[in-house]
Structure 1
Amino acid sequence: MRLRGLVLHLVLLLGVLVSIFPFYWMIVMATNNTSDIYQYPPKVTIGGELWTNLGHVFERINFFAAMGNTILVASCVTLLVLFLDSLAAFTFAKFTFPGKRVLFAILIGIFTLPAQLSLIPQFVIMVKIGWAGQLQALIIPAAANAFGIFWMRQYIAGAVPNELLDAARLDGCSFLRQYWHIALPAIRPGLAFLGIYTFITAWNDYVWPLIVLVSPDRLTLQVALSQLNRSYGQDYSMVMAGALLAVLPLVVLFILFARNFIADAVKGALRG
C-alpha cells in the first residue's frame, strides 16, 4: 500500500509539473530577451528583463485602458449571467408551465451548438442597432447562456426543497420573493462557481471582441495583445510580458477562490 501511495503521488506530481510548465515558460520568455530564447540550448531560467519588456508593451498599446474595458465587460456579464441564468433555472427546476419540456429541449440544443454559428447574424444585429464598436455589444449578447441555465437548473433541483417552496406559497410569497428569500441563499455555492467560470470566460473572450470592436479606444485585453503579436511578432518576449500581465488577475482570482471553485463544481455534479 505504501508503494502504491508513493507511485500515485509521483504521478500526481508529474501531472502538476506538466500543467504548470507552460505558465513557467511564459514567465521565462517574459523576463528574458527574444535572443535568449532562440539560443541553443535555450535559456530556461527567469531573467531580469521583465520591466523592459513591459515598458515596450505600454509604449505600443493602451494596456490599462484595455484592461479597464475588460474588467467592465467581465464584471457586467458576470452579474447579468448570475441573475438571469439563476432566475430562468429556478423556473425550470421548480415550476410547471406550458411548453416547459419543449423550451428545455431547445435550451439543450443551443447548448450543443458551436458559438461560431451565431457570429455573423449577431454582428448584423449589432450593426443594425448601432452597437458595433461599443462595449454593450459584448455585454448584452452574453447576459444569459444555455450552460449557466442548465448548470443552475441541475443545482437548484437538489438544493432547494419543494416542501419549503410549498410552505412559502401558502404564506403568500410571490415568485420573486421565493427566488430571493428561499432559493438564492441555498444556491450561493453554485452561483460562486458559475460566477468565477463566467468571469474567466468573459475575460479571455477573443473572437467576438475582435469582430465587433472597431475603435482602438474600446479594445479588450485579448484583442489589444493580439495587435502586439501581429505588429511585433518577432519580439516574443514583449508579447509574453503582456500576456503574463493579462493573466495575473485570473491567477490571483483562482488562487483566492480555488477551494470553493473545485468544491462547488463537484457538489453541483453530484446534485445533477
Structure 2
Amino acid sequence: MKHGRRAWLQHLVLIPAAALFAFPFYWLIVMSTSTTSDIFSAPPRLIPGGELIDNITRLFTRVDFSQAFVNSVFVSVTATLLTVAIAALSGFVFAMYRFPGRDWLFGILLATMTLPTGVMLVPMFQIYVDLGWLNTYLPLIVPGAASAFGIFWMRQAAREAVQYEVIEAARVDGAGFLRVFWHVGVPALRPAIAGFTVFQFMWNWNEYMWPLLVLNDSDLYTLPVALQQLNGNFGMTDYPMVMVGTLLATLPLILVFLVFRRQVMSSATAGAVKG
C-alpha cells in the first residue's frame, strides 16, 4: 500500500515537471506552423497551425538548408567520433596503466579546462591562418580532438568499471595493448562512451562562434551559421521561418539521444547503483 502511494506521489510530481520541460519544444512546433501575426496575437495561440509547408518552403528558398544540414552532419559526426575515440583510449590509459609522470601529465590536462574559450580564440585563429586551414573544416575537427573533459570522464569511468586483474589476465593470454583496450576497455566503458558521444555531438552540432570565424564560404556553412542568416535587418525577422529552421535543426539531436538513451541512462545511474 505504501509502495503504491509513493508511486502515485512520484508521478504527481514527475508528470507536471515533464510537461514543463516539454512545453518549449511544443511551443517551437506551434510557432513553426503559424504565421507572424499568429505568434504575436493576444492571447497567444496554443495549438499548431497549418503553415508548416509554407514556412519550410520559404526557409529552403532563403538559405541553402540542405547543404548546411549535410555540412553539419559531416563536421559533427567526424569530430565526435575522433574526440570520443581519443578520449576513451586516453582515459583508459590514465586509469589503468602506470608510467612516469602520469599524475603530473593528468594534472596539466585538467589545468587546461580552466582556460576560458574566449582567451584561446585569437591565438587559435592565428595558428590556423598560418597553417592555411581557414575556410576548411579542419579547424572545426582538429582542435577539439583531445578533449580534457572527455579524457577525465573516461578515466573516472574506467576506474569504476574496469578491474585491473582482468587486464593482467588478458596480458598473460598474450593480448597486446589495443586488443586489451578493444575487448576489455570498450565493453566496460560503453555507457560512458554513449553519454559522452551524445554530449559531444550536441556541442559540435550547436557550435556557432568558431565556425563563424573560420568559414567564409556560404557553401561550407554549418546549420547554426546558416540559420543566423535568417535574421532580418531593422527588426524585420520572419519568425515562423526562423522557428521552423530551428525545429528541423533540433530533430537530429533528439534522434541521437533516442539511439543512445539506454546507455546514457545507464551511465547516469551507474554511480548510484554502485553506491
Does TM, scored on the shorter chain, surpass 0.5?
yes
Change (3 A) 1:87 1:255: closer
- C-alpha distance in 2, partners of 1:117/1:266? 35
1:192 aligns with 2:206: no
Amino acid at match of 2:207: D
- C-alpha distance in 1, partners of 2:71/2:35? 29
| TM-score normalised to structure 2 length | 0.92
Give the unaligned 5+ runs of structure 1. none
1:156 aligns with 2:158: yes
| TM-score normalised to structure 1 length | 0.92
Amino acid at match of 1:245: L
**Superposed, which structure 2 residues align to 1:145-184 within 5 Å?**
145-184=147-186
Change (3 A) 1:176 1:271: farther
Match of 1:89 among 71, 87, 91: 91
Give the unaligned 5+ runs of structure 2. none
Alpha-carbon displacement from aligned partner over 1:74-101 (angstroms, at most 9, x marks no partner): 1111111121111111110011112111
**Deviating more after overlay: 240-249 vs 225-234:** 225-234
2:139 corresponding residue in structure 1 = 137
Check whether the contact 1:154–1:271 (CA below 8 A) recurs between aligned residues. Answer: no
Check whether the contact 2:230–2:237 (CA below 8 A) recurs between aligned residues. Answer: no
2:258 corresponding residue in structure 1 = 255
Amino acid at match of 1:184: V
- C-alpha distance in 1, partners of 2:124/2:164? 39
Check whether the contact 1:66–1:221 (CA below 8 A) recurs between aligned residues. Answer: yes
Alpha-carbon displacement from aligned partner over 1:200-252 (angstroms, at most 9, x marks no partner): 21111112111111111100001100111255852111100111111112112
**Superposed, which structure 2 residues align to 1:24-39 within 5 Å?**
24-39=26-41
Alpha-carbon displacement from aligned partner over 1:3-44 (angstroms, at most 9, x marks no partner): 665443222122111101111111111100011111111211
Change (3 A) 1:27 1:266: same
RMSD over aligned Cα atoms: 2.0
Check whether the contact 2:227–2:245 (CA below 8 A) recurs between aligned residues. Answer: yes
Q: Secondary structure of 1:229's partner?
A: coil
1:267 aligns with 2:244: no
Match of 2:239 among 217, 236, 239: 236
Q: Secondary structure of 1:40's partner?
A: coil
1:105 corresponding residue in structure 2 = 107
Check whether the contact 1:132–1:213 (CA below 8 A) recurs between aligned residues. Answer: yes
